[in-house]
Chain A
Amino acid sequence: MATELGPTPVKKPASGGTELHHAPKGVGEDNAIASQGKWASWLLAPAIIALAVVIVYPIISAIVMSFQADAGLDPATGLFAEGGPAGITNYVNWIAQQCASPGGGTVACPPGTLGSQFWSATATTFFFTIVTVALETVLGFWMAIIMARTFKGRSLVRAAVLVPWAIPTAVTAKLWLFIFAFEGIANKLFNTSILWTGSEWPAKWAVIIADVWKTTPFMALLILAGLQMIPAEVYEAAKVDGATAWQRFRMITLPLVKPALMVAILFRTLDALRMFDLPYILTGGSNNTTTLSILVISQIRQGFNVAAALSTITFIIIFLVAFIFVRFLGANVVEQQTGASKGKK
């Protein structure tokens, strides 16, 4: 799911003719706000309500559930009995990896329990996120630079780049699973006999390769759009001044593309932190490719409430990453816009 996180709130609209700050000041202003506000609330209400119902309700209910214990067996009857309040034990199960001990109390979750996988799943999720986003940024930049050049067949390349993006991820995963089969084309082509889904690093790389294939085009297009905003004269001037290609890239391209790039990286990062379909279908989460999302799904059938605790933790992790990013990103945007923003704030 590609979500647009335009830096709308921190920037001024391009055509600000009717923005309030430019509206005629004085007498009518308060009335204008009031009437526009009324309008706005009508226009926004459906969106807010829709999101509240589908997002806020489940989040709250997940938090409530996460403090309930799952049903357990009544040793006398062998039947399940209501779990009751759990305090923070569901969270302890994940974060401290403490499972209920058969004799009462808790023990460290032994390997083979989902609880024991929390930190490794977190590490895997971050590993995937960092590696895929880094590769996608570098490759995406390279592809964007090529697509920005003029040459015959450029539109063909731009169209081809959209193909991996248009294939549904579930299909992509099946396709790569087939490619990476032991008897598959990947091993044949490179004359290797790698067990792509059978050991840790090949499995991780299989996921990374598939993800990079699928989403680099998206990154490339975002960067391309940024590149096209740079006037050609700037490059010409730099060339005349004798700047090398690398210098031009570092001094002109990079800084000018940066705002667009940072937004692209932000929402790729958030997407990568939620990675689910690709490893789920490709490796089933084995060989240390279990991401946090896969862990939640595995837990659902073992107990709703413990799963709810993990989904809450996952949400908090993503929220924190987004927070750090937006601060970092926001600061940069402000820096870029100092001139324009002056006096507005």
Chain B
Amino acid sequence: MLHVKNLHASVEDKAILNGINLEVNAGEVHAIMGPNGSGKSTLSAVIAGKEEYEVTDGEIFLNGENIEELSAEERAHEGVFLSFQYPVEIPGVSVTNFVKTAINETRKAKGEDEMPASDMLKKIREKAELLEIDRKFLSRSLNEGFSGGEKKRNEIFQMAMLEPKLAILDETDSGLDIDALRIVANGVNKLRSKDNAVIVITHYQRLLDYIVPDFVHVLHNGKIVKSGTKELALELEEKGYDWIKQEATV
């Protein structure tokens, strides 16, 4: 599904990613952990196609296709989804209208007709229920005045609506209380299938109790310095990141 090869990226001439190698197959969940400033959010933004980041070396393949030349929207049309750490407020555009626009623009790009209104409504209802989202919430302006938890739940609602092949969850657990965390994680788990893959970016082990990863990678100074299974996350929780940093220096 996703194959990242020796990826180097910089922003404003400052190198942030220094040779990332990562392979994610359909049906897998990967967790990427690491201390602040290790490059986790940069990696997700580069995969999703943020223009401010310059890929200086290496390649990203999605289903065998090099996506370097694709814009953020084209990557979305190919099935990449990024759940934002800080979702943006769009006053005057309701959650429903936003999601409809996103779905129909994607269909348009693929040469398909717009989704019939009744199908759209049915899908919205179904996914809102999955994430325990109130109907009133859907007519509010996108992210405007939302609590941290509401914003994150709304991100996963969009993911549920767009049904991506590759979902990257960038610190989706930050700002969530335990109930919201459970709802969000439950939503993600229900959306998992053998055809899609999820990358979970997080500081803490907590989220991984709910979304159990197949692989855990530790990022430090823009490189993956250690990979393992879910036990690695537990070890990090117990021992912190310092031993990884030391190991990396050695």
Instruction: Decide whether A and B assemble into one complex.
Output: no
